[in-house]
């Protein structure tokens, strides 16, 4: 159902390849630090770059532990500026909960 390949630190993504720190993206290739993108490529923080610029920036970030940790903090703040879905259900009718796929009249009860 969901297809991802070579993703680091991704959440709620589908059909993405060679991406890192992405949230709620679909059909993306070579995206880093991106949120809510569809069919995009060579983007950092949702900004378009040429393939060469993208590779140069990513190699700089991934080449240093300190820069990677800084990027993680920046991404954490960046993703807070975007609207998020109420839930991540798919083809679920009269159902309550989160991450429900092809359900009918289901309810998730959590005892916390």
Q: In this model, does residue 31 exceed pLDDT 70?
A: yes
pLDDT on residue 13 = 86
pLDDT of residue 5: 63
Whether 23 shows a pLDDT value over 80: the answer reads yes
Beta strands in 12-69 (DSSP E): 16-23, 29-35, 41-44, 47-48
Pair of tokens at residue 15: 């059909």
Provide the residue ranges of all domains of the chain, joining segments of one domain with +.
Answer: 4-81, 85-112
Does residue 73 carry a pLDDT above 70?
Answer: yes
Give the pLDDT confidence score for residue 1 in this predicted structure. Answer: 47
pTM: 0.73
């Amino acid at each position: 159902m969901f297809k991802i390949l070579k993703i680091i630190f991704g959440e709620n993504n589908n059909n993405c390849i060679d991406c890192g720190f992405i949230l709620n993206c679909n059909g993306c290739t070579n995206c880093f630090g991106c949120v809510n993108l569809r069919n995009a490529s060579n983007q950092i923080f949702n900004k378009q770059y040429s393939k060469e610029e993208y590779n140069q920036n990513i190699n700089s970030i991934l080449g240093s532990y300190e820069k990677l940790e800084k990027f993680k903090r920046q991404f954490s703040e960046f993703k807070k500026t975007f609207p998020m879905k109420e839930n991540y259900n798919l083809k679920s009718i009269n159902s309550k909960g989160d991450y429900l796929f092809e359900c009918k009249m289901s309810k998730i009860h959590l005892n916390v």
